[in-house]
């Protein structure tokens, strides 16, 4: 925990929650090494020595099976339950042991909550439900209703302002709950299994809308779920809980590709990796690359050394300029030309570093060469051979290896003969180097 404190929205420090007789004695025993099961019959240790920090603007997912302690934990994060030991800090203010009045103020100003079963006020309209948090803070009616109408439109409920909750579907009711939390205008949203009561298609829609709203509002979201695919889809980081303890905290890619123990590994073995991993996670260093000013002999040499049928061409700033095929380079050598300019073709397929693997299969099938991966400035940052894409979908497999583009390449003996028949191009090759080394 070494983040700058100004960037931390919420933190838990060595938090315990024990139910039953003599909870402090139970905490002392847990700290001395007593297991959770050994307390059975005397006390229930729901949360054991949990510590983490949630950065401002991130979606932090707490994931675990039933009984793991995740729902108990979220209730401590907004003070519904006080920690038996340890401390919860919200935006620099400890909520452990504070007065009820101060706690109400923190909840009103800092934290909103979205519940699994909606928790709407049944006799209030959609408009009044969404405006409720602002009403509790004393915001004038005209102002809070204006804000509520804006939020209602954003969550896709325009036209339903005067309906009562029981006139809405489950998905629409959850949109009201989400809208109410957003209209409260707090910096932190706590979401306890918020989408688990919804049908799968509606659930996916709500997940996607949450990400869209997060992009717009930049809230700090702590999301509780037992669904691994949901955690992987939503989370910037994920905390995996088991038997009251956090067993691993990491990005979705960390959890998926480097599980901390056998429990996490078994937990993630059935995850839809194609929806989680991105091109940036599996790409390899591009080694069949030449500079824009290189000549055909340099390009052929790079192809020979990397057993490739083509090379990518990059500019001085690593911008991807195009691709050169072996047959085209051979024709230039035979003509005695020294510039590649006339045979640089557009890259048939290029993908973004942030594209998920699910979106790469069609481009990979259609491309005769490994997919070029570019960043937001169109710079070549990696390549993905088809075999690497397939290997990345296997459990526990990471992308390693070298670039291979053997499809129908000109035999290396032909290239060797051509290279031996003349001088090397003056312009430098960059194959075997990271493109950022091109000057």
**Average pLDDT of 99-112?**
87
Q: Which are the contacts of 101, defined by CB distance < 8 A and separation ≥ 6?
A: none
Is pLDDT of 424 > 60?
no
Domain with residues 280-437, CATH architecture: Roll (3.10)
Report the residue count for the chain. 439
Contact between 289 and 314 (Cβ < 8 Å): yes
Q: Residue 299 — very low, low, confident or very high, per pLDDT cuts 50/70/90?
A: very high
Pick the CATH number of 5-271 from 2.40.110.10, 3.40.190.10, 3.40.50.300, 3.40.50.2300: 3.40.50.300
* CATH 3.10.580.10 domain position(s) in the chain: 280-437
* CATH 3.40.50.300 domain position(s) in the chain: 5-271
Listing DSSP states for 12-68 in one string gives EEEEEEEEES-HHHHHHHHHTT--TGGGTTTEEEEEEEEEEEEETT-EEEEE--TTS
**Average pLDDT of 168-190?**
87
List phi, psi (to 5°) of 77.
-70, -25
Whole-prediction pTM value? 0.71
Contact between 295 and 425 (Cβ < 8 Å): yes
SS3 content of the chain, % helix, strand, coil (to 5): 40, 25, 40
Single out the residue of 267, 193, 181 nearest to residue 217, CA to CA: 181
Q: How far is CA 282 from the centre of its chain?
A: 15
Question: Percentage of the chain with pLDDT > 90?
Answer: 36
Average pLDDT, the chain: 84
């Amino acid at each position: 925990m070494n983040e700058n404190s100004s960037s931390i929205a919420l933190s838990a420090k060595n938090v315990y929650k024990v139910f039953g007789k003599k909870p402090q004695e139970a905490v002392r025993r847990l700290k001395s090494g007593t297991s959770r099961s050994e307390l059975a019959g005397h006390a229930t240790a729901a949360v054991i020595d949990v510590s983490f920090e949630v950065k401002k603007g991130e979606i932090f997912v707490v994931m675990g099976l039933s009984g793991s302690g995740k729902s108990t934990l979220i209730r401590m994060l907004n003070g519904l339950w006080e920690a038996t030991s340890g401390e919860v800090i919200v935006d620099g203010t400890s909520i452990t042991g504070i007065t009820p009045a101060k706690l109400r103020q923190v909840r009103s100003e800092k934290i909103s909550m979205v519940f699994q079963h909606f928790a709407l006020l049944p006799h209030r309209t959609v408009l009044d439900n969404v405006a409720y948090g602002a009403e509790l803070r004393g915001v004038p009616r005209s102002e809070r209703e204006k804000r509520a109408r804006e939020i209602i439109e954003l969550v896709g409920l325009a036209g339903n302002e005067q309906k009562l909750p029981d006139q809405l579907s489950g998905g629409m009711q959850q949109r009201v709950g989400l809208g109410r939390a957003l209209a409260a205008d707090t910096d932190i949203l706590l979401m306890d299994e918020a989408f688990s009561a919804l049908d799968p298609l509606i659930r996916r829609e709500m997940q996607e809308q949450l990400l869209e709203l997060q992009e717009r509002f930049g809230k700090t979201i702590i999301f509780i779920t037992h669904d691994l695919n949901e955690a992987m889809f939503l989370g910037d980081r994920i905390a995996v809980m088991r038997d009251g303890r956090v067993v691993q905290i990491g990005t979705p890619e960390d959890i998926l590709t480097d599980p901390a123990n056998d429990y996490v590994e078994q937990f993630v073995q059935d995850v839809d990796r194609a929806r989680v991993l991105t091109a940036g996670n599996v790409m390899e260093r591009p080694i069949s690359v030449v500079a824009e000013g290189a000549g055909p002999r340099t390009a052929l040499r790079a192809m020979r050394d990397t057993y490739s049928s083509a090379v990518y061409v990059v500019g001085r700033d690593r911008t991807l300029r195009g691709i050169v095929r072996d047959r085209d380079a051979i024709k230039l050598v035979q003509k005695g030309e020294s510039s590649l300019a006339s045979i640089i073709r557009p890259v048939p397929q290029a993908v973004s570093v942030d594209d998920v693997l699910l979106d790469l299969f069609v481009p990979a099938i259609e491309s005769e060469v490994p997919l070029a991966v570019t960043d937001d400035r169109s710079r070549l940052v990696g390549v993905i051979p088809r075999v690497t894409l397939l290997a990345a979908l296997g459990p526990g497999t990471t992308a390693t290896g070298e670039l291979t583009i053997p499809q129908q390449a000109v035999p290396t003996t032909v290239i060797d003969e051509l290279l031996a028949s003349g001088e090397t191009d003056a312009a430098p090759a960059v194959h075997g180097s990271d493109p950022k080394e091109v000057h």
